[in-house]
Amino acid sequence: MNTKTLLLGSALALLLAACGNENNQHSGTDMGLDDPFVSDVIGVSPKHLNADFWIKPKMNKVLLSPEGITTFNAKNTAQDPTLYDLNAMADTLDRDDLIARMRTVSRISKNPRMYEDGTPVTEADFARYEAMLNLNAVTDQNAVSFALAVRRTSMRSYPTPDLVFSEGAKDRDIERFQESTLFPGDAMAVLHTSTDGQWALVQSYNYIAWVPVEAIAIGTRDAVLGYASTENFLVVTGDKVSTVYNPEVPQVSEVQLDMGVRLPLSRPKALAHNLYGQNPYLSHMVLMPVRKGDGTLALKHALIQRKADVHVGYLPFTRENIIRQSFKFLGERYGWGHRFNGRDCTGFVSEVYKSFGIKLPRNSGDQDRSAIGINARYEKDAPLADKIDRLKRGKVGDLIYIPGHVLMLVGHDKGKPYVIHDVHGLGLLNADGTLYKGTLNGVSITPMLPLRSSIDRSYLQSATTIKTLP
């Protein structure tokens, strides 16, 4: 071996050693770096944050076929007043009917309200919001139109973007005019417009509220309802995915799509190998609703990468998939009425079940009272032991309702029930018997039994219903 070869060998050895050291530096704990698990939620360790920990043998059994889910939804819609069949919507609504529907959401609060800066909301302010309802334009017969949502958009109590909070609220997480949200492709009946023409009162399959007109596109009844019922469709199964960037049609470029969004698949021969200058073979091609300049509906092709967390048709309805779907939201910020680009407790469970095609009422109280599923009902002073026994026999995905909140049973660890839920606050008992009040403000894993509504009452003591779906 000559000197030149030795020098090259030594240089290579030094380079490999340097690369090895660099790799060690990036391996975290190998060079002393650490990201410790810190939590004030008792009974939770890192293992509980892994979906695989909760998945047991035989959890991949299909609980209900797609045909069975269609029948299940139809039965529930027929018997539950908070679910609505848009196909049954009349072409017109009379005055009393329209105003009654509007008043299910637009009502002057009996409780004091304030704006974000703490300024009180006065009677004059509410009079201004009432004037925005455009009641003078309601006639004996009022035409109904149909529309699709073109982007994720808030559903509001009144036709205004003004933020209103409970008087004295210490945070700004719960905004009282925020009701829910619509997602791209959601179908709705348009019942009325605001005085300024900027808002529409709409009825979706499970809610009625005001939305900005710029977020919806008006189409014919057949076009809208046909879009919503197409048999060849893609379902978003991730927490959020986006359409592919599109330099030619910005309305369908990088559009956020949340879990449960359903879009028609469409790949015409003319576009098979070139869509907006891109070969679409690595993507799913879907039809997206867009709003034309005159506010009417057009459908444009868009791409969603095949690597994205999506599924052709609904996911199989299994206990394993319930766990995997729910854990995709773990750590997402809590958003009352889907604020903060997130969701709340009922939005969380609804979007998990939407990925299987199952429709639920919007609000926790409506879900609680609904006859949907198999329900164990409890009176206010029902023995706690009865509820604990029911949880011991509980199934993954069971929904536990307390006033104003819903939790999902994810499994048991050492005989103790654990839940996943999208939750604002945290209440636990300290060792000395005092109440610890903390913050979760996100989709969280917690044990069920220690959670407290107050110092005198646990979550489970407050539970009114434990529901198994389907």
Look up the CATH number of the domain holding residue 173. Answer: 2.30.30.40
pLDDT at 101 over 90: yes
Looking at the structure, do residues 197 and 324 belong to the same domain, yes or no?
no
Nearest to 237 by CA among 301, 180, 299, 316: 316
* Torsion angles phi and psi, residue 240, rounded to 5: -150, 135
Position 131 in a domain:
yes
Domain span holding position 365: 46-64+317-468
Mean pLDDT over the full length of the chain: 93
pLDDT bucket at 343, cuts 50 / 70 / 90: very high
- Provide the residue count of the chain: 470
Indicate the pTM of the whole model.
0.90
Mean pLDDT of 31-43: 88
User: Is there a domain that residue 6 lies in?
Assistant: no
Same domain, 216 and 143: yes
**Range name among 9-23, 73-87, 117-131, 392-406 with the lowest pLDDT average:** 9-23
**pLDDT-based confidence at 170, cuts 50/70/90?**
confident
* 389 within domain boundaries: yes
Do 393 and 427 reside in the same domain of the chain?
yes
The verdict on 220 and 348 lying in the same domain is: no
Please check whether residues 325 and 298 belong to one and the same domain.
Answer: no
Is the dihedral angle over the CA atoms 39, 44, 50, 51 positive or is it negative? negative
Q: Do residues 186 and 149 touch, judged by C-beta distance below 8 A?
A: yes
Segment 373-426, tens digit of pLDDT: 999 999 988 999 999 999 999 999 999 999 999 999 999 999 999 999 999 999
Q: What is the mean pLDDT of residues 194-213?
A: 98
| 57 band by pLDDT with thresholds 50, 70 and 90 | very high
How do residues 205-226 score in pLDDT, each as one tens digit? 999 999 999 999 999 999 999 9
Residue 305 is encoded by which pair of tokens? 């990468």
**Whether pLDDT at 13 is above 90:** no
Query: Residues 329, 417: one domain?
Result: yes
Cα distance between residue 93 and residue 97, in whole Å? 6
Residues 456 and 375 in one domain: yes
Residue 357 domain-assigned? yes
Q: Based on the fold, state whether residues 273 and 402 are members of the same structural domain.
A: no
The pLDDT value recorded for residue 20 is 41
Is position 150 within any domain? yes
What is the domain count for the chain? 3
Residues 221, 246: one domain? no
Choose among 377, 393, 397: nearest CA to 315.
397
35 assigned to some structural domain: no
Domain boundary among 195, 211, 226: 226
Residue finishing a domain among 312, 340, 367:
312
Rounded CA Rg of the chain: 26
Residue 24 inside a domain? The answer is: no
Q: Is residue 274 assigned to a domain?
A: yes
Query: What was the pLDDT predicted at 31?
Result: 66
Same domain, 153 and 239: no
Of 226, 243, 267, which one is at a domain's C-terminal end? 226
Strand locations in 173-332 (E): 178-182, 187-193, 199-203, 208-212, 216-219, 233-236, 240-242, 256-258, 262-264, 283-291, 297-305, 310-312
CATH number at residue 329: 3.90.1720.10
Looking at the fold, whether 302 and 323 belong to one and the same domain comes out as no
Percent of the chain with pLDDT over 90: 91
Same domain, 406 and 268: no
Q: Where are the beta strands (DSSP E) in 322-464?
A: 374-377, 399-402, 405-413, 416-429, 435-447, 452-454, 457-458
